[in-house]
Structure 1
Amino acid sequence: MSSRENSGLEDGLRKPLLHTGSWYKMGMGSRQSSIMSSSAQMIRESISIFLCVFIVALGPIQFGFTCGYSNPTQSDIINDLGLTISEFSVFGSLANVGAMVGAIASGQIAEYIGRKGSLMIAAIPNIIGWLAISFAKDSSFLFMGRLLEGFGVGIISYTVPVYIAEIAPQNLRGSLGSVNQLSVTIGIMLAYLLGMFLHWRVLAVLGILPCTLLIPGLFFIPESPRWLAKMGLNEDFETSLQVLRGFETDISIEVNEIKRSVASSTKRTTIRFSELQRRRYWYPLMLGIGLLVLQQLSGINGVLFYSSNIFKSAGISSDKAATFGLGAIQVVVTGITTSLVDKAGRRVLLIVSSAMMTMSSFLVAIAFYLEDVLPEKSRFILGIMSLVGLVILVIGFSLGLGAIPWIIMSEILPVNIKSLAGSVATLFNWLTASIVTMTANLLMTWSTGGTFTIYALVSAFTVVFVKIWVPETKGRTLEEIQWSFR
């Protein structure tokens, strides 16, 4: 064993759970003899990066499928298992509880065994959870399965955006980072679509597919080079970065930047809360938490979870079809966003997104306020008005507030506190999501118009928050962004 490995063991460091494969090093060994044109090299680099993103995107698809599962299955599960409405509400909310636990653990797991190892850990409880739900005979298995799913989703929600940010070149980081949210919306849409035709048990069995494919896929992609560098695994770090950038690319400048960035950081895998109290970390931490909390306070989860009921109360009969339509719109607009993030910039899209959500929430609120004033024959017009408002709301969310807070969180947090700070930001996101999900039904029972007025005011505050405090991170390396906060 080499002296470097001995010192690594003495420091309590761990090798990656899923090691960089030997086939990468074979490619490295033969790179000198291969002759490639610059255009072919760009294609090679793109294939390597996109393969990595495509594989880890299976995690957010699982995330979205978990979020969307309870919407089309509510009545069938209640009837088959004899649950009360309150028991089903507990079932729905347990995913958030599990996700909060997963979020707390996610940073330390990702720091201790690597980003790929963390995703492996997340995939296993997800698979077990879906199987528990599919074979459930009573509420106990149902609840256990939902908790396990939530735990896995909590880890995925932190690890995937961080991994993508750490492997992506600066000119593609925004677009590739948006794939995380695009995959979540695809998962939600699939749950809505398949839930219209399949029994809830069959739908739960299909829920294991993303993570079942993710596990073998993780063996074919490299570990995050920045994590490897922080752990002092320099040979693996350079191998990983070379694979990601292409075997003929000169990576010396990027290698030096990353080494300089991690030189001042500790190799310890355990970070204390006291380290977050240092003044230079307050700003990036507050930005990360603020954006992820405002994302949820916009009310999007309340709208998506209870869209069928909202459509019913607005007088729209095909509520499941309308809900699926919302899911499809989310996918299309989030797909468009992936091409805009690195061109228009993060701040512009966040401002436009929040402004659209403000106007659309007010439009829905007005429609429900007028419901009690206008005669019965005008209800159809109000239904159309609320439908248009909800569509614009979902378009606005998908245009920026859905994807960009996760991108910015993964960009601005310094590497030496990213594990704990990222866990804290993700925890706040899931805690806020739980509050919004649990209160949405109660608020809409109190006043649907009033509920959307509250959501509109939060979105208006988000515009102000972004304009005053959020910096533009487009076109800058992670090291440049993080040094700017010092």
Structure 2
Amino acid sequence: MASVLIVIIPPASIVSGLIMDNLGRLNCIKIAGIPGVIGWSMIALAQNVPIIIFGRLLVGISSAWGTSPGIVYITEIASSNLRMSLMAIAPTYVSLGMVLTYLGGWYLHWRHLAWICNIFIIVPCLVCMVLHESPSWLILKGKYDQAKKSLEWIHKYQKPVDEQVSFAELQYKVLQEEQQKKKDEAKKHVGKGLKFIIQQFGKPTGWKPLVILTGLFFFQNFSGIYITMFYSISFIEEAHTNINPYLASILIGAVRLVMSIASIYILKKFRRRSLIFASTILMAIFMFIAGTWTRWIKEGTTELLWVPVIALLFYVVASTIGLLPIPTMLIAEFFPLEIRGIGYSISYSIFCILMFIALQTYYTMSDFFGGASNLQLFFGAICVGGCIYSYCFLPETFGMKLIDITDYFKTKFIYIGHSEKGINQEENTVRDPMLDGNGNSDKRENV
């Protein structure tokens, strides 16, 4: 049942791209509320399993249609030095939603909880009624007057650059210049279509990022991160602890929420590779502890029945500093400008497919490995494999310009022995409202 939501997201995300490009980012979020409300209402009123599954599919469509334009909207209206922090907040809200759902599931009947979920769909749609549309999209559609009003609303508290020019006016000029650059770039590829895309993915800058990300997604999904997230109650019950599984699932969600907030700071201060190494090693240690203790509990050789749950909590802490958030964040950094959009879509689809397989085969894997303890040891081994894989192939992108990352893939595939240049470049850059995250003017396309 948990995997039903995942399998519908890739195709729904493609449709959301068409909707937001043609109707606007905020309108796409509003439209997303329709299948969401219908889906949760069907679940609340369902009299059989097929209706529940169909409702879940509608909720998945709503999730894809609402999430993608939300991310694009934030990216387009936020200042460059705030984008990474705002993007890191997204997992925090996911964790908060899970905690609220766990709490609701503990106290409420599942039908009542389904009705309550409609509130979290309707409220964002109402908020979108008072927000202004993305200035970038408005300029793209030739709605220049609305774009000016939107920029004035977004930057109304921003100090003016000087007495003659407001920050909103300067941003409007920059957006117009960037839009013209994109139009000029698009003219170069008119008529190339699918053939051009295939050619780009045949280059080292196309296939290398895709291969590396696919491997990273494999280790991420089969390390147990999302299995413990979606099947937390079943996972804890099979460990035979003396802690209420519903209470434990709430604790797991709360820990993930707190650590997601902390990761907003952590991801801005520490290198990607260092975080991945620390994350996977600690995850392996705590999952090995959980697996060993689960076996001892089953054999009756220990009375410390709470250890697997505590180990799982620390496993969650370790995952949130590296292996959980970083892989999906790397998608936008790895691909060159020419195929960044389609590269993101393909990579995210692969991520969702692997997550679907991991969730769908959870009980099969448990039977194959002979129970929860061996499965937990398997997850620990996968974490070790993820650490080794990242050490060999994952490039360091912290503080690097996107063009430098593209240049790396032209000649490199195995990272071992590569000289890390410019890692601390961002830390030594003087911030300016018109500078991007790497110290470059926003007037220059950060390719």
Calculate the TM-score normalised by the size of structure 1: 0.70
2:228 to 303, 325, 339: 303
Cα pair 2:328 2:348 within 8 Å, conserved: no
Paired residue secondary structure (1:264): helix
Cα pair 1:129 1:146 within 8 Å, conserved: yes
Quote the Cα distance in structure 1 between the aligned partners of 2:398 and 2:148. Answer: 25
Cα pair 1:358 1:455 within 8 Å, conserved: yes
**For residue 190 of structure 1, what is the amino acid of its counterpart?**
L
Deviations 1:238-289 (A, max 9, x none): 7656655547234466775675466423698x96486154123334444554
Which residues of 2 match residues 85-234 of structure 1 at below 5 A? 91-224=1-134
Aligned to 1:20: none
Quote the Cα distance in structure 2 between the aligned partners of 1:484 and 1:304. Answer: 35
1:265 to 174, 186, 193: 186
Report the alpha carbon displacement of residue 336 of structure 1 after superposing the two structures with TM: 0.7
Paired residue secondary structure (1:349): helix
Deviations 1:131-189 (A, max 9, x none): 11111122232122111111222344544444434443332222211111111111111
Deviations 1:412-459 (A, max 9, x none): 445554443322222222211211112112222333233223322332
Report the alpha carbon displacement of residue 215 of structure 1 after superposing the two structures with TM: 1.4
Quote the Cα distance in structure 1 between the aligned partners of 2:151 and 2:198. Answer: 29
Quote the Cα distance in structure 1 between the aligned partners of 2:180 and 2:372. Answer: 53
Distance 1:369-1:483 versus aligned 2 partners, 3 A rule:
same
Quote the Cα distance in structure 1 between the aligned partners of 2:267 and 2:393. Answer: 18
Instruction: Say yes or no: does 1:363 pair with 2:289.
Output: yes
Quote the Cα distance in structure 2 between the aligned partners of 1:213 and 1:194. Answer: 18
Instruction: Say yes or no: does 1:440 pair with 2:362.
Output: yes
Aligned to 2:377: 453
Alignment RMSD: 3.5
Cα pair 1:98 1:150 within 8 Å, conserved: yes
Deviations 1:361-387 (A, max 9, x none): 222222234445x5x251x32x33312
Q: How many residues in Structure 1 have an aligned counterpart in Structure 2?
A: 392
Which residues of 2 match residues 467-478 of structure 1 at below 5 A? 467-474=391-398
Report the alpha carbon displacement of residue 334 of structure 1 after superposing the two structures with TM: 0.5
Cα pair 1:353 1:399 within 8 Å, conserved: yes
Instruction: Say yes or no: does 1:389 pair with 2:311.
Output: yes
Deviations 1:320-367 (A, max 9, x none): 101111011000010111122222244433332222222222222222
Quote the Cα distance in structure 1 between the aligned partners of 2:97 and 2:243. Answer: 25
Aligned to 1:313: 238
Deviations 1:217-245 (A, max 9, x none): 22443444555666676776676566555
Quote the Cα distance in structure 2 between the aligned partners of 1:363 and 1:260. Answer: 55
Cα pair 1:161 1:177 within 8 Å, conserved: yes
Quote the Cα distance in structure 1 between the aligned partners of 2:279 and 2:183. Answer: 35
Quote the Cα distance in structure 2 between the aligned partners of 1:229 and 1:286. Answer: 36
Distance 1:476-1:168 versus aligned 2 partners, 3 A rule:
farther
Quote the Cα distance in structure 2 between the aligned partners of 1:167 and 1:477. Answer: 21
Aligned to 2:352: 430
Paired residue secondary structure (2:81): coil
Report the alpha carbon displacement of residue 396 of structure 1 after superposing the two structures with TM: 1.5
Paired residue secondary structure (1:265): helix
**For residue 40 of structure 2, what is the amino acid of its counterpart?**
W
Task: Tell me which protein shows more helix as a share of its residues.
Answer: 1
Cα pair 1:108 1:419 within 8 Å, conserved: no
Report the alpha carbon displacement of residue 111 of structure 1 after superposing the two structures with TM: 3.8
Cα pair 1:118 1:155 within 8 Å, conserved: yes
Quote the Cα distance in structure 2 between the aligned partners of 1:283 and 1:229. Answer: 34
1:462 to 386, 395, 406: 386
Q: Which runs of 5+ in 1 are unaligned?
A: 1-90
Quote the Cα distance in structure 1 between the aligned partners of 2:41 and 2:234. Answer: 28
Cα pair 2:139 2:176 within 8 Å, conserved: no
Percent of residue pairs bearing the same amino acid type: 25
Quote the Cα distance in structure 2 between the aligned partners of 1:220 and 1:105. Answer: 25
Cα pair 2:32 2:61 within 8 Å, conserved: yes
Quote the Cα distance in structure 1 between the aligned partners of 2:178 and 2:185. Answer: 12
- Greater CA deviation, 220-229 or 151-160? 220-229
Distance 1:307-1:429 versus aligned 2 partners, 3 A rule:
same
Q: Which protein, 1 or 2, shows the higher relative CO under an 8 Å CA cutoff with sep ≥ 6?
A: 1
1:351 to 270, 273, 277: 277
Cα pair 2:85 2:264 within 8 Å, conserved: yes
